[in-house]
Structure 1
């Protein structure tokens, strides 16, 4: 059972990383429901650029590596203490993402009737909580 968290989470992270690379290089599939919009659906709350999307893709892939290295499935190419710190940072980032900004994302968002908000409630926020827990469990 202890294998389920790190392995499934690393798979999710790689898939989401590849999806970000797809979007960065012009892919359109799913793009209409991955960025929060205002309550009146009039505009996106931000517009990520190609560079930022590539950085996020790389960070997600690195997070997958850190999780697998901390769990003992991959040999660490970084010092164990750096892997451990990376795991703590990833746990914090994903748990904070699950909590949200209290407006557009997370469990406590106010705007709930947009396409993104429905996807966030059903998929993105629970996935972030799962990932955060996976990183916390890998630390112990």
Structure 2
């Protein structure tokens, strides 16, 4: 059981970190790029228009809310959640797991990656896809460990 709690905490920390990175981009940060176009090529894969501040904050909010799910899962009995919430929580874990799996798997499909910049394809196959698949697995493991 300690392994599951450790996995849940790691999942939450990763999601908060990625959420903070989206806030940083929304505020005009350029890392890991050197210019706006370099950042677009490395992180978004195509186009010349940087996503709006609202878009960056919207994604950051979603990731931050997802980061709360492992804590809710760990504390589900201590929080004295009502019966309906306890019934819905597993479905929410499945849903979030599916989102991350879908993002992780789609990034390996050639008919999708052919539209992206080569540096993004390299980053997505080395970093983004494995991270998303890992997150998908952790939410699934939490569900199985219910």
After superposition, the C-alpha distances for 1:20-43 in whole angstroms (9 at most, x for unaligned) are 111111111125111112xxxxx3
Aligned to 2:36: none
Question: Residue 90 in 1 paired to residue 99 in 2?
Answer: no
Task: Determine the C-alpha separation between the residues in 2 that align with 1:77 and 1:132.
Answer: 24
Q: Map 1:1-140 onto structure 2 (within 5 A).
A: 1-31=3-33, 32=39, 33-37=42-46, 43-44=47-48, 47-72=50-75, 75=79, 79-100=85-106, 106-109=107-110, 110-111=113-114, 114-140=118-144
2:45 touches 2:117 (CA, 8 Å); kept in 1? no
Q: CA deviation at 1:2?
A: 2.6
Q: CA deviation at 1:115?
A: 1.1
1:6 touches 1:134 (CA, 8 Å); kept in 2? yes
Task: Determine the C-alpha separation between the residues in 1 that align with 2:108 and 2:69.
Answer: 26
Q: CA deviation at 1:49?
A: 1.2
Task: Determine the C-alpha separation between the residues in 1 that align with 2:55 and 2:125.
Answer: 24
Q: 1:118 to 1:88 in 2, by over 3 A?
A: same
2:4 touches 2:142 (CA, 8 Å); kept in 1? no
Q: CA deviation at 1:82?
A: 3.6
Q: CA deviation at 1:77?
A: 7.1
Structure 1 or 2, whichever has the larger Rg, is: 2
Aligned-residue Cα RMSD (Å) equals: 2.4
Task: Determine the C-alpha separation between the residues in 1 that align with 2:61 and 2:117.
Answer: 31
Q: TM-score, normalised by structure 2?
A: 0.76
1:20 touches 1:56 (CA, 8 Å); kept in 2? yes
